[in-house]
Amino acid sequence: MSEMFRITLPDGSVREVAPGTTPADIAAAIGPGLAKAAIAAKVDGELRDIMRPLEGDAQLALVTSRDEAEALELARHDYAHVLAEAVQALWPGTQITFGPATDDGFYYDVKAPARRDPFSMDDLPAIEEKMREIIRADKPLRREVWSREDLIAKWEKEGEVFKAEWAKELPEGEELTVYWSGGDWLDMCRGPHLASTGKLDPQAFKLMRVAGAYWRGDQKNAQLTRIYGTGWLNKKQLDAHLHKLEEAAKRDHRKLGQEMDLFHLQSEAHGSVFWHPHGFVIWRALEAYMRRAIDAAGYAEVKTPQVMDARQWEQSGHWGKYRENMFVIPDEVPNVEDEGPLVSEAADWMALKPMNCPAHVLIFRQGIKSYRDLPLRLYENGCCHRNEPHGALHGLMRVRQFTQDDAHIFCRQDQIVDEVRAFCALADRIYKDFGFTYAIKLALRPEKRFGTEEMWDLAEAELRDAVEKAGLATAEYGWEELPGEGAFYAPKLEWHLTDAIGRTWQVGTIQSDRVLPERLDASYIGEDGERHRPIMLHRAIFGSYERFIGILIEHFAGRLPVWLAPVQAVVATIVSDADGYAQEVAAKLRAAGIRVETDLRNEKINYKVREHSLAKVPQLLVVGKREAEEGTVAIRTLGEQGQKMLSVDEAVAALVAEATPPDLRS
């Protein structure tokens, strides 16, 4: 009799099973309800197919649809495979490449056969119907291990040049697996997958769009079509997601930015924002708010150069780790003649700064610093440039030129926890001023990094300790640790804001860095009279002004708080006889610090109301002949029905109270 495997379940009980037993068999032995509900298994913490035989003693946890994160990951991976199978069934000769799960769905990159045009939106209904047919067929999804030679031979025989190329480059000795869908279609995949296509809900997915893509992300390679879909566990989840997308489309900051005349972007300056007067009012209000916050928190504001020598970036480590994202410029006068190269081979190189931190170290190094000078908090509204690909640019959310609310705290080791706790308190107050809730996460060391293991151990422990002492390492604040997500030089705390429609945005961060002070030779004189390295805390709250403004526009659907609104009030006339009175009211509001405009046009008042509502003006003060005689105004508040009559002085006082920034209210 062969040796039995000891399988330990989450409750601590142990079952002895024969080799060849699957997690599905164990679920069935526990009970028919679990046998029906179980969709996958965690074997020693690794997510696996429920039909994959156990290979030895193991810890086993069965996964059901209640384990939503794992269940969605599996379902979306399966939807991607079903998509590829459907496309090849409809158009034989289509080549497939890869199809991962995403945060809300899946995609697959495919190349159409030579006899037809690339796939388009018009093809999606037919593909969706074929996918539903494959799901309803309940085809078993079966894992097989193949030899490298057999797998390459299969792909080459079938003309799958992309799959063959990838298979040839996988490491020698790596187990190569495929998944069969029934007995007539397979794809190369590590898995895991559900037991069959019928485990998917045929009404819980939708193909959303197509886009161009390049094989392996390189523009020099073949162009492919990326087909995107969204996939869920049931139709209710899909409908909720589609509703959220509809709401997000209404809130799109690019659309609202145009309607509200805030900014524009154009091809003459890819990824850089043209701020219009109304948009820059929002910027200045945020800048003033942040300056008050950092002044009160003991920061000193600085300004550093836009362009620095490449040797500085080499020393900091950015030249090697980040150069592909930097705008590099020659340090010489370019050739103006018709012939010859624009730049000589002897040219030295400089770069627009992609971040502010090395420049802040250079400021710290000016003069001798004592342990008594620490902590030193340097703040900059720092304009940076990053060479993002054109296809990755997205309105204000992803740009090439941006301004960070950036600061670096140089401190002693014994000051780190207190400084991080103080930053947590500052970030908490600021995010609450804007009406956001948030989750806080600790991003741990990545695979490629600078520094010793001891440095990383210490830095991660200090951030963890600070959050625990601040009372934020709890489920209420969404506390989570993220392995591999830290920067190459430091672990970091991340603030993930939740907006009005439930989307999350990673915005604020603080990083505990021992690497950059070492590389750039920053030091202070300790109490012992010896030189010591400061610890450098990199921190931001908005992240960048551009992106934070985009988030605010979408969070408030353009209806910004009165203190941020570009135009806080409009005084609109019903009849021309009230023009003079409207200008008097506006003058009083302006004298009280309110951003106000008048609308004296010969238009009907309902037309004016609609127009200013579209422009998201918070308060409309309507005046006519009667209001002029009585010294009153009729106030219409954006988003509310009806109006209220107030004297001019009462209206001014009410608007001043609403327009006061939250940090200045008593």
350-374 pLDDT per residue, tens = 999 999 999 999 999 999 999 999 9
pLDDT in tens, 561-583: 999 999 999 999 999 999 999 99
Q: How far apart are CA 652 and CA 567, in angstroms?
A: 15
Query: Comparing C-alpha atoms, which of 139, 255, 267 is closest to residue 199?
Result: 139
Q: What pLDDT shows up at residue 2?
A: 60
CB-neighbour burial class of residue 302 (10 A; exposed 0-12, middle 13-18, buried 19+): middle
Below-50 pLDDT ranges, the chain: 1
Q: What pLDDT shows up at residue 448?
A: 84
Q: How far apart are CA 31 and CA 8, in angstroms?
A: 17
User: Which residue type sits at 252?
Assistant: D
> Dihedral angle at the C-alpha atoms of 215, 219, 223, 224, nearest 10 degrees?
50
Neighbours of 52 (CB within 10 A): 18
Q: What pLDDT shows up at residue 1?
A: 46
Query: Comparing C-alpha atoms, which of 114, 115, 121 is closest to residue 161?
Result: 114
* Catalytic center residues: 357, 386, 404, 406, 408, 492, 538
Cα-based distances in Å from 455 to 388, 413, 445, 482: 31, 12, 11, 18
Q: How far apart are CA 502 and CA 197, in angstroms?
A: 30
Which residues, listed in sequence order, are joined to residue 591 by a DSSP beta bridge? Answer: none
Q: How far apart are CA 318 and CA 334, in angstroms?
A: 26
Q: What pLDDT shows up at residue 602?
A: 92
Cα-based distances in Å from 58 to 14, 50, 54: 10, 14, 8
Question: Has this prediction a pTM greater than 0.75?
Answer: yes
Residue tagged 């830290």 (tokens): 486
Contacts of 34 (CB under 8 A, 6+ apart): 27, 28, 62, 64
**Are the CB atoms for 188 and 162 separated by under 8 Å?**
no
How far is CA 278 from its chain centroid? 26
Q: How far apart are CA 567 and CA 664, in angstroms?
A: 20
Q: What pLDDT shows up at residue 629?
A: 94
Q: How far apart are CA 411 and CA 398, in angstroms?
A: 32
Query: Comparing C-alpha atoms, which of 626, 570, 638, 630 is closest to residue 600?
Result: 570
